[in-house]
A and B are shown apart, each in its own frame.
Chain A
């Protein structure tokens, strides 16, 4: 008896203790989410995502690495923290040819590596050549293919030398010769690079033989010629003098300047790379030129970078350092944020179940439209999706508004290019759309439903394609449809599954077709998708590489593209090429809009959603914005110690102006107009 009494007593004591502790220890943090205390030192703690695979800016294409590269390396231009438009970095000013195919940059003379070595145009020439060298194994080299002969060099192609001269492309395929108008100082190299395009052939003999088989004329033309490999010195990059860099493109590319902020175009230190080879990025060897340099790296735990005193703009860098934490478990990231152990984290990381709660903290939860879309590629090389009517039926039987409400972090997508982030392009699109409506003699009501949610029309189309839908609302069936040769493939991921199940339900409900779902591990999935092995539909996500519609429209450009549908259309390519040669800004947008309307008519995809950003940052972190790429030029970021100045009830952080950041930007842009 004594024992039981003792037990009951001790139990109740513990329970009472627990209750009192629990109830009175819930610390009230006011209007902010969790513990909100700025770090004592001036070091930002940021979760960047998976452990970075390399510190070499030429190598990796991933998002976690991108943000680290932006801290360590400075390029010709940098992204504006809000608009992502190019602002001066190592290049203090630039001039662009009227054909938008030659760019001349004036570099500042005080740019240095973290070991004090000065930076010149030759560093950029070396870096570009290195980046395009196939030996470097860069994953992102294709971004720079606009530079003349860079793609040929990267692919190991060859020039054709016959009778002492190089054969030209137009001589063999009978097109107009393409030359570049001279722009900037005249040099020997300029004469070569501006000249008509040289003929290039694959470097591999077998590949050439295949070409010759198909094209007798070609074979005869090169008969007896010598094949000279395209070398690094042939690409369109030139150091006119130590402080002047000239880039020559193979076509007009108006968006190219913005593209130069990408990590691939940031230079690497020649003296270090040549000395250490592939070991140059080890913490004991690495030398960088950005606002920060590597202090220590504990893999899977922490990358600590500190202010680089040799940075040309060091006096305007506000943070003393940044700690990058490589964590990819979303719940853990949120816990760390709530506990006040981190100050901000990467995009797309708030777990779905938390979104409704953190949404209330509008000064910390950031959801703004992104330069990224989600869609389903359809394999148009395999029936029944080789029929555009079937494809359109699948597109039009999905309620995208409902999908966005369900996903919470997205907005509906009706085209390839997201709406809302390129205001002028949206205007051009509206105009083109209205033209098309008049041309097709449709009423505004009918036209509003084009490629949008119209299940009745979808069923009609399906019937027309030979797969009639029977039954009535709530009870449709499509018995003729070959359901076993159609599936929806996606890579294993909670969000992907959510969407897939939603879509499956939509098609079942509106078309009476049950599409089977196929979840695959990431790399397995990539292979199936990229090799067009999948049947039916496949999940696709695309983050724009730069702020221009072409980054989305270009997905389906060319023979082998990243669109994942097997769509290759010469007319589409032609329309895009024409658009890119258009010098007038708005006219170019119109041409792009027409190309987009064309491809949307052919409809190789089912459009799904535009992503919204989905991350948190503490109210004392300033100068860091939810821009469409979630790219943060770290020198603008600072930690505000005075609580009175923290973000409080700000409606739209992108619209409000921060005097400190604005002043910093103005200072930087001043050099643009100088010569």
Chain B
């Protein structure tokens, strides 16, 4: 098991470097530079800029420099926001995304697990149809529709919650709910499907045949297997959430990592883009590793060498 973990951890660095390399190539191929604007920049200024950032060096030299810096963990300084190291920028905006992402996922788990379990246990009941219909809605309504809709109801009709911006507990409610909706829907459906399948298994029949109460059957015997799909789903979902979701952050003006990321791409701010890409790759891989380990704990048939 330890060997397995170690191997996966070691893989993270080369994988992240690959992701960074591909991103680097894409940025270079995309036309436009970080300093382009509608007004032409004086030629001498442009020459100086290009010299300062080594933009006229051969591409393999630039690539090599970038790679060796990143491998040492040095992501450099933002091109657009002078004097701000990329690491600082990421560290500063990550907490906003992380808090909202985490709260959203916890809410999604709470709603999704409960709804999915009840729906599975009361299959084809009114609750089952209602909750699966709601889940369908949650999956199909995009969050740039749901967000403003919630703002309309809760900020303007009911005057209960602030319409945007970060500040105080009440300002978190709408963005968290908007974000949680789609995940709750996914989790409810996954839980329901997983649980239904498990409930059909022979070992559930055995458990009942042993005279166990339905409660014990569900809690002790069914849930473990039934929740495995949700565990798998959590890894990448949580990583994506922590890295920030652009739409919700834009609609609610949250200074999170998703917002920064999109801006940095539009600004062609290469160090920042690469830094965030590296960060997200590492995050995703670590979360996947955690999920795989958790999977191994839940399902004893899976053993890692």
A326-355 contacts to B (CB < 8 Å): 327, 329, 331-332, 335-336, 338-339, 341
Q: Which of A22, A156, A336, A526 contacts B164 (CB 8 A)?
A: A336
Q: How far is the CA of A142 from the CA of B39 in the complex (A)?
A: 9
Q: How far is the CA of A89 from the CA of B3 in the complex (A)?
A: 71
A7 near B126 with CB under 8 A, answer: yes
Q: Which residues of B contact A (CB under 8 A)?
A: 30-33, 35-45, 47-49, 52, 80-84, 89, 92-93, 126-127, 148, 151, 155-159, 162-166, 250-253, 255, 259-260, 263, 266, 268
Minimum distance in angstroms from A519 CB to a CB of chain B: 14
A134 near B45 with CB under 8 A, answer: yes
Q: Which of B38, B126, B162 contacts A526 (CB 8 A)?
A: B38
Q: Is A562 close to B, CB under 8 A?
A: yes
* Residue from B30, B37, B148 with most neighbouring chain A CB atoms (10 Å): B37
Q: Is A299 close to B, CB under 8 A?
A: yes
Q: Is A300 close to B, CB under 8 A?
A: yes
Q: How far is the CA of A611 from the CA of B155 in the complex (A)?
A: 32
Q: How far is the CA of A25 from the CA of B127 in the complex (A)?
A: 31
A524 near B42 with CB under 8 A, answer: no
Q: Which residues of A contact B (CB under 8 A)?
A: 3-4, 7, 21-22, 25-27, 34-35, 50-51, 53-54, 56, 59, 61-62, 134-135, 137-142, 151, 154-156, 203, 278-279, 281-282, 298-301, 325, 327, 329, 331-332, 335-336, 338-339, 341, 521-528, 530, 541-542, 560, 562
Minimum distance in angstroms from A636 CB to a CB of chain B: 27
Q: Which of B81, B126, B162 contacts A299 (CB 8 A)?
A: B81
Minimum distance in angstroms from A64 CB to a CB of chain B: 12
Q: How far is the CA of A156 from the CA of B41 in the complex (A)?
A: 14
* Chain B residue nearest to A26 in the complex (CB): B157
Q: Which of B31, B42, B251 contacts A155 (CB 8 A)?
A: B42
Given known pairs A61-B39, A301-B166, A332-B250, the reply for A22 and B157 (CB within 8 Å) is yes
A332 near B126 with CB under 8 A, answer: no
A528 near B253 with CB under 8 A, answer: no
19 CB-based A-B contacts, threshold 8 Å: A7-B127, A21-B158, A22-B158, A25-B157, A53-B80, A56-B82, A137-B52, A140-B39, A154-B44, A281-B83, A299-B81, A299-B92, A325-B165, A336-B165, A336-B253, A339-B156, A542-B38, A562-B39, A562-B40
Minimum distance in angstroms from B131 CB to a CB of chain A: 12
A332 near B82 with CB under 8 A, answer: no
Q: Which residues of A contact B165 (CB under 8 A)?
A: 301, 325, 336, 341
Given known pairs A338-B163, A527-B36, the reply for A135 and B48 (CB within 8 Å) is yes
Q: Which residues of B contact A325 (CB under 8 A)?
A: 165, 253
Q: How far is the CA of A332 from the CA of B263 in the complex (A)?
A: 17
Q: Which residues of A contact B92 (CB under 8 A)?
A: 299
Minimum distance in angstroms from B178 CB to a CB of chain A: 13
A142 near B38 with CB under 8 A, answer: no
Q: How far is the CA of A583 from the CA of B45 in the complex (A)?
A: 33
Q: Which 7 A-B pairs have the closest CB atoms?
A: A523-B32, A300-B255, A335-B163, A524-B31, A301-B255, A155-B44, A339-B163
A522 near B266 with CB under 8 A, answer: yes
Q: Which residues of A contact B39 (CB under 8 A)?
A: 61, 139-140, 142, 562
Minimum distance in angstroms from A574 CB to a CB of chain B: 22
Q: How far is the CA of A165 from the CA of B256 in the complex (A)?
A: 61
Minimum distance in angstroms from B265 CB to a CB of chain A: 9
Q: Which residues of A contact B89 (CB under 8 A)?
A: 299
Q: How far is the CA of A279 from the CA of B165 in the complex (A)?
A: 28
Minimum distance in angstroms from B107 CB to a CB of chain A: 20
Q: Which of B38, B52, B127, B252 contacts A562 (CB 8 A)?
A: B38
A335 near B48 with CB under 8 A, answer: no
Q: Which residues of B contact A34 (CB under 8 A)?
A: 156
B255 near A154 with CB under 8 A, answer: no
Q: How far is the CA of A155 from the CA of B42 in the complex (A)?
A: 7
* Residue from B40, B80, B126, B251 with most neighbouring chain A CB atoms (10 Å): B40
Minimum distance in angstroms from B234 CB to a CB of chain A: 28
A298 near B255 with CB under 8 A, answer: yes
* Chain B residue nearest to A22 in the complex (CB): B157
B259 near A300 with CB under 8 A, answer: yes
* Residue from A51, A300, A325, A332 with most neighbouring chain B CB atoms (10 Å): A300
Q: How far is the CA of A521 from the CA of B27 in the complex (A)?
A: 13
B82 near A331 with CB under 8 A, answer: no
